[in-house]
Amino acid sequence: MNILFINCCVRKQSRTYRLAQHFLSRCSGEITEVNPVKEEIRGLDEETLHIRDHALYENDLNHPVLKWAVQFAGADMIVIAAPYWDLSFPASLKNYIERINCVGVTFAYDETGRPYGMCNAKKLVYITTAGGRVIDEAFGYGYIKALCANFYEIPETVCFKAENLDMPDVDVEALLKQTEEEIDRHIQQL
């Protein structure tokens, strides 16, 4: 299995990264990591958009501007690790999404204008943590789930989360272990 790990964790002691590593350690297959911050994946600007559009028009799937889209479309499973920041996820994940949303690579349109997916993945796993309030899935995971359903046609999405980790009198280790156990139960059912 070809597993694509999109690592949007920036802290060295990231709790989200810890949970992602727990999940990945229970998977078999080749894991390819993309770190949008380290790879300096930036949002699209006019010049980059022009280059991408030209590469798509020429159907040049080997062009470097399409690297992440081709990689995403070819993965068998996708794992995203993104902390819950400002009611959503880090901007680096949004930049990555802008780069992979490519007509003719990750999705296309039928004759009625309806998008359909071109991705191999049958499953996307979204892993997140929040220090404060309870996670509102609509703004983070919900957005990713909607992309999977409406563009990529990835049939299964699942979210693992640990929340309220920075609240007073909270046993952080117990909350993380609880999520790790949830991950283990999910893996056992596969």
CA 127 vs CA 117, 138, 165, 180: distances in Å: 23, 14, 14, 11
> Tell me, what's the pLDDT at 178?
97
Q: What is the pTM of this model?
A: 0.95
pLDDT < 50 positions in the chain: none
> Tell me, what's the pLDDT at 161?
95
> Tell me, what's the pLDDT at 87?
83
User: Under a CB-based contact definition with an 8 Å cutoff, are residues 1 and 30 in contact?
Assistant: yes
> Tell me, what's the pLDDT at 139?
80
> Tell me, what's the pLDDT at 141?
94
Phi then psi dihedrals of residue 187, to 5 deg: -60, -40
Summarize pLDDT for 39-90 with one digit per residue, the tens: 999 999 999 999 999 999 999 999 999 999 999 999 999 999 999 988 889 9
Polymer length of the chain: 190
> Tell me, what's the pLDDT at 86?
83
Q: Which domains does the chain show, CATH number per domain?
A: 2-189 (3.40.50.360)
